[in-house]
């Protein structure tokens, strides 16, 4: 099959390679939708002369992919893009969308690798290449669903190592969830920022009861309280919840963000490179959010430092991104990628050209 890709000059794609890996978590991670002890990812490399750009995909049910469909998409990238030259990573994006519908995490791997290459070529760290004026942002740490005593112990441990924000997973039993959030607040004190995430697990009236019982507990964001297709529930909660509602799993595309605005179904959006297809489409979704008056967060799936670094670079370069939730790499038993630093609660981008990430 021949794809018409009209690009010239710039960076030449000599070879694309990819490798699936199963990353073990330090401990099983439980959210409203289920529990997992592993994260399945695919690393992708784009070779250009003596440079290599690195990317990574974390396909999940949220992105409507699995490891096999992601590998198939990458096979198509590898076959079709060899020999192509590009000036800007955005040129490849249009081709990828015509060639393959959906598959955002596979496309994110390609987009991240092309950005890594382009920023290396420009001899700039990726966040600087994207226009960032800063190199660090405060990230939260996520506490999965577990019994209250264990959750309190985890929260104290993470605050002890420097985290200034916690995201607490909820969405199974709202009374238990209220007890757990309040117990964590008592343990860590009033200074720590709190966010909660229902991952679509509540009915709208349980979500409202939960939010009302947490009034005064300093919870700043309530992510995806109800299932992705419950637009009416999201709209009702956006009007009534004392904690501002944020959409996550229900926003994958730019059209989803527009629909969210038309339905007045949230007050903010959690962006993820894996959901939208990389830096280029995530910037489009963020632009729609910005025009709608929605501040955004940049979050992650079960990702290693490699793609977390890309999410951080994107967040640093966008003034509408107010929060980051880039913590999954802290919970991997062994991360083959390294290069990010964590200082005083902030995630710090590498000063090296490109992503600045080293692969073991
Ligand atoms: Mg979420």
- Write the class of the CATH domain 11-123: alpha beta
Cβ atoms within 10 Å of 293's Cβ, excluding its own: 10
Give the Cα separation of 248 and 13 in Å (integer): 34
How many Å lie between the centroid of ligand 1 and the Cα of residue 234? 14
| Residue spans in the chain of domains classed CATH 3.20.20.120 | 128-359
How many Å lie between the centroid of ligand 1 and the Cα of residue 270? 7
Torsion angles phi and psi, residue 130, rounded to 5: -85, -5
Q: Where are the alpha helices (DSSP H) in the chain?
A: 67-81, 90-99, 104-121, 126-129, 148-160, 174-188, 204-213, 231-240, 254-263, 273-276, 279-292, 305-317
How many Å lie between the centroid of ligand 1 and the Cα of residue 64? 15
How many Å lie between the centroid of ligand 1 and the Cα of residue 195? 10
What is residue 139's three-state secondary structure?
strand
Residues, beta carbon < 5 Å, ion ligand 1: 197, 223, 248
- 38 with 24: CB under 8 angstroms? yes
How many Å lie between the centroid of ligand 1 and the Cα of residue 222? 9
How many Å lie between the centroid of ligand 1 and the Cα of residue 200? 9
How many Å lie between the centroid of ligand 1 and the Cα of residue 85? 36
| Residue spans in the chain of domains classed CATH 3.30.390.10 | 11-123
Task: Supply 86's token pair.
Answer: 């590009």
Give the Cα separation of 294 and 115 in Å (integer): 26
How many Å lie between the centroid of ligand 1 and the Cα of residue 272? 10
Give the Cα separation of 326 and 311 in Å (integer): 8
Give the Cα separation of 71 and 154 in Å (integer): 35
pLDDT (tens, 9 = 90+) of the chain, 360 residues, equals 344 444 455 899 999 999 999 999 999 999 999 999 999 999 999 999 999 999 999 999 999 999 999 999 999 999 999 999 999 999 999 899 999 999 999 999 999 999 999 999 999 999 999 999 999 999 999 999 999 999 999 999 999 999 999 999 999 999 999 999 999 999 999 999 999 999 999 999 999 999 999 999 999 999 999 999 999 999 999 999 999 999 999 999 999 999 999 999 999 999 999 999 999 999 999 999 999 999 999 999 999 999 999 999 999 999 999 999 999 999 999 999 999 999 999 999 999 999 999 998
- 301 with 326: CB under 8 angstroms? no
pTM (2 decimals)?
Answer: 0.96
Give the Cα separation of 283 and 326 in Å (integer): 17
∠ CA 257-33-152 to the nearest 5 degrees? Answer: 105
**Within its chain, how far is the Cα of 271 from the centroid?**
6
How many Å lie between the centroid of ligand 1 and the Cα of residue 39? 16
What is residue 82's three-state secondary structure?
coil
What is the structure's pLDDT at 10?
A: 84
Give the Cα separation of 214 and 219 in Å (integer): 7
Q: What is the DSSP letter of 141?
A: E
∠ CA 173-186-150 to the nearest 5 degrees? Answer: 55
How many Å lie between the centroid of ligand 1 and the Cα of residue 187? 24
How many Å lie between the centroid of ligand 1 and the Cα of residue 67? 21
How many Å lie between the centroid of ligand 1 and the Cα of residue 119? 29
How many Å lie between the centroid of ligand 1 and the Cα of residue 83? 38
How many Å lie between the centroid of ligand 1 and the Cα of residue 199? 6
Q: Compute, in degrees rounded to 10, the torsion defined by CA atoms 268, 200, 221, 280.
A: -40
How many Å lie between the centroid of ligand 1 and the Cα of residue 94? 27
CATH label, 128-359, candidates 3.20.20.70, 3.20.20.120, 1.10.10.350, 3.40.50.300: 3.20.20.120
Q: Compute, in degrees rounded to 10, the torsion defined by CA atoms 108, 114, 118, 124.
A: 50
- 56 with 44: CB under 8 angstroms? yes
What is the sign of the dihedral through the CA atoms of 42, 350, 355 and 309? positive
**Within its chain, how far is the Cα of 75 from the centroid?**
24
Task: Supply 21's token pair.
Answer: 């890996």
Helices vs strands, H then E, count in the chain:
12, 18
How many Å lie between the centroid of ligand 1 and the Cα of residue 13? 35
How many Å lie between the centroid of ligand 1 and the Cα of residue 197? 6
How many Å lie between the centroid of ligand 1 and the Cα of residue 354? 28
What residues pair up with 139 in beta bridges, in sequence order? 324
What is residue 176's three-state secondary structure?
helix
Nearest C-alpha neighbor of 230 from the set 265, 255, 256, 196: 265
- 216 with 234: CB under 8 angstroms? no
């Amino acid at each position: 099959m021949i794809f018409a890709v009209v690009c010239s000059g710039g960076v030449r794609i000599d070879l694309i390679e990819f490798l699936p890996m199963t990353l073990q978590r330090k401990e099983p991670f439980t959210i409203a939708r289920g529990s997992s002890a592993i994260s399945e990812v695919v690393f992708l490399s784009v070779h250009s002369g003596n440079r290599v750009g690195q990317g990574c995909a974390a396909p999940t049910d949220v992105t409507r992919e699995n490891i096999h469909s992601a590998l198939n998409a990458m096979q198509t990238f590898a076959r079709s893009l060899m020999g192509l030259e590009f000036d800007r990573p955005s040129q490849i994006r249009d081709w990828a969308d015509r060639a393959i519908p959906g598959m955002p995490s596979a496309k994110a791997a390609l987009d991240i690798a092309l950005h890594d290459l382009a920023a290396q070529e420009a001899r700039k760290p990726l966040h600087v290449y994207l226009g960032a004026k800063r190199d660090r942002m405060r990230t939260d740490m996520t506490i999965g669903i577990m019994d209250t005593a264990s959750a309190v112990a985890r929260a104290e441990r993470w605050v002890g190592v420097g985290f200034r924000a916690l995201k607490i997973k909820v969405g199974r039993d709202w009374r238990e969830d209220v007890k757990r959030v309040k117990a964590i607040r008592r343990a860590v004190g009033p200074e720590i920022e709190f966010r909660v995430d229902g991952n679509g697990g509540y009915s709208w009236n349980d979500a409202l009861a939960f939010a009302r019982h947490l009034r005064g507990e300093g919870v700043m964001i309530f992510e995806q309280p109800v299932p992705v297709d419950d637009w009416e529930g999201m709209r009702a909660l956006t009007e009534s919840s004392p904690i501002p509602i944020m959409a996550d799993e229900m926003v994958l595309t730019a059209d989803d963000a527009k629909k969210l605005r038309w339905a007045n179904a949230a007050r903010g959006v959690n962006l993820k490179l894996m959901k939208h297809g990389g830096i280029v489409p995530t910037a489009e979704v963020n632009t729609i959010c910005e025009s709608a008056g929605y501040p955004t967060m940049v979050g992650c799936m079960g990702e290693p430092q490699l793609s977390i670094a890309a999410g951080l670079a994107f967040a640093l370069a966008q003034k509408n991104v107010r929060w980051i939730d880039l913590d999954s790499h802290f919970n991997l038993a062994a991360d083959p990628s390294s290069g990010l630093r964590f200082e005083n609660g902030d995630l710090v981008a590498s000063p090296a050209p490109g992503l600045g990430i080293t692969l073991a």
